[in-house]
Amino acid sequence: MLRSIMIASTALVLLLGGCAENTAPGNDRAAEEAPPSAAADLVPASKAVREAEVSAVYPETMTEKEVRKTVRGRICRFTYTGVGDPVLAVEVPKAGAQPGRGVMKLNGKLVELQGESGEGQDMLAGETVMQADGLRAAVAPDQESTEAIDNAKQRREAALRFKVEGAEEVGFWGFYTCGEVVEGSATEADPRPREITATSGAEVYEHARCFACHGGLGYGGAGPEFRGHENLSDDKHVIGAILSGPGEMPAFADTLTNEQIAAVSTYIRTNWGNNFGPITPERVVEIRKSRAD
């Protein structure tokens, strides 16, 4: 049985959380007397881990506002207790696809994860593995425990294994509930900063919150995927999109300098397996002028 295997493993620190009456702060909705009014910032995993002692990084509970900030549609959520707030929320994928986006809270920051492997739409049937830069989370439901919450949702006891690069893997026992529908859009994020001082492409991508829609690893989400996207080969298209913001994307013509646009354009065109080449500030100036004419 999965619980026995988890307890027997000497490589895993197992923290049991099966009691639905656990009133530890953050583990039970009833114990949260003053939940935060604003959702935590969404940052790349590397930033959340970098700002804390790696050995002290553990998944934290999230509010509903924080869950809605990153994932939407049908989701599965892992909770430490039967009535607790989630520490991991994952989008249920379309038929035949890998798990979609997920979100965790580490060091007070929200971190977006991408599906690595899973059981398709029936995420209670086997292990779901999520990953981001420098961390990995895997949920393994206990196949001998199933509880129907209502017609749409089912829950199983499950083990969450969590690994941050540079630290030992830790584990938690809790509940994995699937079938809930999260309303709203993942683009309901904090206001974008009007002054961005970052200079490198990676920093601009972070500070301009590009990752909130396109993913910290370029897998996409509310916005298109950047990995191997053929439109990235057209530098005029890339620069124009950043300047004017097509669709629901905000325009950055008045927010980013020519140097910053060149840096972030180069970043997305030369990372995640892309090899579309760099873009210079001079090229950005040229495109700005052509669009103004």
Q: For 144-151, what is the mean pLDDT?
A: 69
pLDDT, residue 152, reads 65
Pairwise pLDDT comparison (151 vs 187), residue with the higher score:
151
Query: Which has the closest alpha carbon to 81: 7, 16, 4?
Result: 16
Mean pLDDT of 15-29: 41
Choice between 9 and 286, residue whose per-residue pLDDT is larger: 286
- The answer to whether the CB of 165 falls within 8 A of the CB of 134 is yes
Per-residue three-class SS string for 249-269: CCCCCCCCCHHHHHHHHHHHH
Q: Is 144 exposed, middle or buried (0-12, 13-18, 19+ CB in 10 A)?
A: exposed
Supply the DSSP string of 24-69, one letter for each residue.
-TTT-GGG-SS--SSPPPEE-HHHHHHTS-GGG---B---HHHHHT
Give the pLDDT of residue 192. Answer: 41
Which stretch of 19-23, 33-37, 60-64, 222-226 has the lowest confidence by average pLDDT? Answer: 19-23
The span from the first CA to the last CA of the chain, in angstroms, equals 69
Q: CA-to-CA distance for 273 and 258, rounded, in angstroms?
A: 25
**Considering the domain 201-292, what is its CATH architecture?**
Orthogonal Bundle (1.10)
Q: Cβ(59)–Cβ(88) under 8 Å?
A: yes
The structure's pTM equals 0.52
**Span 158-177, pLDDT tens digits:** 999 998 887 788 888 899 98
Higher pLDDT, 21 or 133: 133
Mean pLDDT, residues 101-120: 81
What mean pLDDT do residues 60-88 have?
Answer: 85
Of 106 and 153, which is predicted with more confidence? Answer: 106
**CATH 1.10.760.10 segments of the chain:** 201-292
pLDDT over 50 (residue 20): no
Contacts for 79-82: CB closer than 8 Å, 24+ residues apart: 79/174, 79/175, 79/177, 80/17, 80/22, 80/27, 80/172, 80/174, 80/175, 81/17, 81/18, 81/19, 81/20, 81/21, 81/22, 81/27, 81/28, 81/174, 81/175, 82/18, 82/20, 82/155, 82/175
Which tens digit of pLDDT belongs to each residue from 225-283? 888 888 999 999 999 999 988 887 888 988 899 999 999 999 999 988 899 999 999 99
